[in-house]
Amino acid sequence: MKITTVDTPEHEQVIRFEDAASGLKGFIAIHSTQLGPAAGGVRMRPYGHPDEALNDALRLSRGMTYKNAAANLPLGGGKAVIIGDPATEKTPALLRAFGRAVQSLEGRYWTAEDMGMSPEDMALIGQETRFVAGLADGEFASGDPSPITARGIFNAIRTTARHRFGSADLTGKTVSVQGLGHVGYHLCRLLHEAGAKLIVTDIDAAQVAAVAGEFGATPVAPDEIYAVEAEIFAPCAIGAVLNETTIPQLKVGAVAGGANNQLATEEDGQRLHERGILYAPDFVANGGGIINVATEILHIANREEWVAEKLEALDRTMDRILTRAIAQSVSPNDVAEAIVHEILHQEAA
C-alpha cells in the first residue's frame, strides 16, 4: 500500500492511501488531537474527483473536533473517506486494506461507521486494526447510537423551548420533524411521551405510516414541512435544509434537530437569527451519537451512568450557548463555535 502525506495548513496530519491490489483509495484527515485521539467515521462515496474527497475529509474532520469538544469528550477530530461506490466496489480486501491504513497511524485516529458503512464492515476493518469502533459484538461494543442521539436532541429541544418560549414543558407544543429514520423515530417517541403534538414527513411512506400510527402524528408531504405552523422544527434527515429558500418559509420559533450540517452556509445562521428563530447548533444537539461511540473507544465500564453524565453536560453546554446568544443578540452557531475555541484554548493553556 502506498501512503503519502498531504500538506494542508490547518490540519495536524492528512494521509492519502492507495492499494492497487484491492482498489482502495482515499484520505484520512486528522484535524486535531489536542483533546485526545482523533475520532470520526469513515465515509465511502463515488466522489467525482480526488480533491472532492480530500475536501470532504478536511471539512468533516474539522467538524468532528468541534463536535467532540462540545460533548466534553477526551477525543480530537478526524475523518476518513474512501473513493468508490459502496454498492459495487466495497470488498473484504478493500476494507481490510483500509484497516491497515488506520493502523499505520498507530492510534492517532479511531475510525467508525459513517455513510456507506455497516457494523459488519467495521468487523472486517477490525481484523487489521484495533482502532475501530461501531462493532456489533465485543466487550465494549456500543451498538446503535440513535436512541442516545435522539435523547440528546430531545434534551436540546426542551432547553431551546425554555429559552424561546419560557418553559421546557412540551405538553401541547407542536414539533415538526423531517426524517423518521433511526434518529427521527426515537425522537418522535420521546416527544409523544412528553405530550408534544407532531407534524412529520419522510420520503419513505412506510416510516411516515409507522410514526403516524404509533404516535398520532400528522403527516405532510416532504416539501410541505418547512411551511407548517409549529413551535419547533426538528430536521433529522439530511444536511443543508436551512437555506435561503427554506428559511423564509418557516413558521416556527425555534429549530432544534439531529441532522448534520443543517445550515447550508454560514449566512443561514444569521438569516435564522434575523427572523427571530432560535437555532440549536446541530453539532451540539446531536452529540449523543459520538458520546455513545466514545464508550467503545474509551472502554467505559459504567456505561449508562457515564452516558447520562455526558448527556447532562451536553445539555448544559447548549444552555450556555443559548443564554449567551440571547444576551448578546447573536446567532447561537457563532457562539457555539466561540465556546469550542474557548475549550480548545483552555486545554492548550
Catalytic residue among 25, 67, 79, 90: 79
- Decide whether 202 or 337 has the Cβ nearer to ligand NAD: 202
184 is in an annotated binding site: yes
Work out the angle at residue 182's Cα, subtended by the Cα atoms of residues 224 and 145, and round it to the nearest 5 degrees.
140
Please confirm, yes or no, whether 251 is among the known catalytic residues.
no
- CB within 8 A of 182, min separation 6: which ones? 144, 146, 149
CA distance 30 to 162: 37
Q: What are phi and psi of 345, to 5 degrees?
A: -70, -45
- Decide whether 129 or 146 has the Cβ nearer to ligand NAD: 146
- Decide whether 101 or 133 has the Cβ nearer to ligand NAD: 133
CA distance 286 to 151: 9
CA distance 76 to 59: 14
182 is in an annotated binding site: yes
> From the CB of 6, what's the least distance to ligand NAD, in Å?
25
200 is in an annotated binding site: no
- Decide whether 76 or 235 has the Cβ nearer to ligand NAD: 235
- Decide whether 102 or 187 has the Cβ nearer to ligand NAD: 187
> From the CB of 132, what's the least distance to ligand NAD, in Å?
17
- How far is residue 234 from each of residues 181, 229, 269, 330, 335, measured CA to CA in Å? 13, 13, 15, 21, 20
CA distance 173 to 21: 57
Q: How far is CA 277 from the centre of its chain?
A: 21
Q: Cell triple for residue 20?
A: 492497487
* 324 sits in which H/E element: helix 303-328
Q: Across 194-231, where does the E strand assignment appear? A: 197-201, 218-219
Q: Cell triple for residue 77?
A: 477530530
CA distance 331 to 319: 14
Task: Catalog residues that contact ligand NAD under the rule CB under 6 A.
Answer: 145-146, 149, 178-184, 201-204, 207, 222, 236-238, 258-260, 286, 289
Q: Which residue is nearest to ligand NAD (CB)?
A: 181
Can you name the residues that pair with 263 across neighbouring β-strands?
242
84 is in an annotated binding site: no
Which residues are documented as binding site for NAD(+)? 179-184
Among all residues, which ones are annotated catalytic? 79
